[in-house]
Every structure is written in structure tokens, then in C-alpha cells.
Chains A and B, each alone.
Chain A
Amino acid sequence: AQKVTQAQTEISVVEKEDVTLDCVYETRDTTYYLFWYKQPPSGELVFLIRRNSFDEQNEISGRYSWNFQKSTSSFNFTITASQVVDSAVYFCALSETNYGGSQGNLIFGKGTKLSVKP
């Protein structure tokens, strides 16, 4: 069965610290997709990144970076030099390939609440 585990329920850091959010996934498929979403207090899920299972290259976008390791089934997210505006709940999600007229639904972890204090 597919599953996403975010073991860190809450993390609190001081501004400018680096922080890594962990994500471990389970799937039997060889083709799958991994996502990170940010959910600020307003509630809307904001898309951050999508990776497919064949692309293990790490990615950097400004202060954000992602480390995808198939060998450990992990897709970790690092924020460098954190800022107060980074405070939110972050969700890791997994989607598998579906055929027959549908596309994969998202399976979310329980989220990690990040608090960045000034």
C-alpha cells in the first residue's frame, strides 16, 4: 500500500537557521511522483515541487532545496536561512500512475508544522 510518513510533527527554529523536513514514502510502483506543498494559516495548499521517480537529481530553488533518494525512499526538503514567512505546515505527497481514464490521486503525509521565530 502507498504511504507517506512525516515523522516530525512540529519544528521550531530561529530565523536564519537551516531546517530540514523529512519525508519517507512507501509504494510498490516503479513510476510515481512526489510533491511538497506548503499550507499557511489561510488554509490554501501551495505547490512547491514535483519530482518523478526516474529523476533523482537534487533540486534547488532559491532558499529551498530537495534531496530525493530512492535507495532510502526519502524526499527531504531543506530551507536555508529560514524566515518568519516560512512558518506554515508542510506536506509531502505521493502519487502513482493510473491508467484507464484517470490520473493519480495524492496521498499526503500528516504534515510538519514549522515555526520560525524572529
Chain B
Amino acid sequence: DAGVTQSPTHLIKTRGQQVTLRCSPKSGHDTVSWYQQALGQGPQFIFQYYEEEERQRGNFPDRFSGHQFPNYSSELNVNALLLGDSALYLCASSLYAPGAETQYFGPGTRLLVL
């Protein structure tokens, strides 16, 4: 039973560039959430995708956008990178339920913006 996978594992970009991060959910899951974790902090919610639509969004600017594909995998895009975007980006998958189902996390993508 494959868990949540993310690619790439590490990435180095320069300010102003654009980046795309990818996530494949755990088998059987249909909902993908993205989180940003700055060094020494807890993860912060970016957005959540279900049925190929953004369902919820945290307090992040429009430079952060995403997509979910019919196979439930997801991408996170960040435009016009800033130094402050350097962080660990975590993808979590779950099975949709109106309440709150357990989210299972991938290993993350470490993004460094120079």
C-alpha cells in the first residue's frame, strides 16, 4: 500500500522564478491538502483540493496556486518566488468526509530560494 509521495525531494530556485511541486496521494484517498512549514515552526495550511476543485484556502497570496488531476494527484505552483518562500512543503492526503478525516503526510519537498 503506497503512501503519499512527493517530488522532487529538494529544490533550489532564485528569487522571481516559478516552481511546481507534485504529490501523489495514498491509495484510496481523494483529497489533497498542502502545507508550508518554515524552519522551527508548525505546518501552515495552504489549500485543499477535492474533486479537482480548491475547497479551502489558508492565508496565502495568489502566487500560490494548485491543481488536482482526475487520478487525485496534485500540483502546487508558486510564482514570483521570494526568499521567504524557502520552506518544507508538505502534501497530505485523506479520504473525503464532511467532518475531519485523518490526513497522512508525504516526506515533503525542501525548497530553498536564493
Pair B43/A105 contact, Cβ less than 8 Å: no
Report the count of interface residues on A (CB-CB < 8 A): 32
The answer to whether A47 and B97 touch (CB under 8 A), given A105-B56, A106-B45, A111-B42, is no
Q: 10 other contacts beyond A103-B99, A110-B41, with CB at 8 A cut-off?
A: A50-B102, A97-B98, A103-B31, A105-B56, A105-B58, A106-B33, A106-B35, A106-B43, A106-B92, A110-B40
Q: Give chain A's interface residues, CB within 8 Å of chain B.
A: 4, 31-33, 35, 37, 42-47, 50, 52, 91, 93, 95-99, 101-111
Verify if B88 is at the interface (C-beta below 8 Å from A): yes
Contacts of B99 in A (CB 8 A): 31, 33, 52, 97, 103-104
Total CB contacts across the A-B interface at under 8 A: 81
A95 & B43 in contact (Cβ 8 Å cutoff): no
Size of the B side of the interface (Cβ < 8 Å), in residues, is 34
Tell me the B residues contacting A by CB distance below 8 Å: 31, 33, 35, 40-45, 48, 50-51, 53, 55-56, 58, 88, 90, 92, 94, 96-108, 110
User: If A45-B90, A108-B43 touch, does A95 touch B100 (CB 8 Å cutoff)?
Assistant: yes
- What are 5 inter-chain pairs, A to B, with CB distance below 8 A? A4-B42, A103-B31, A103-B96, A105-B48, A106-B92
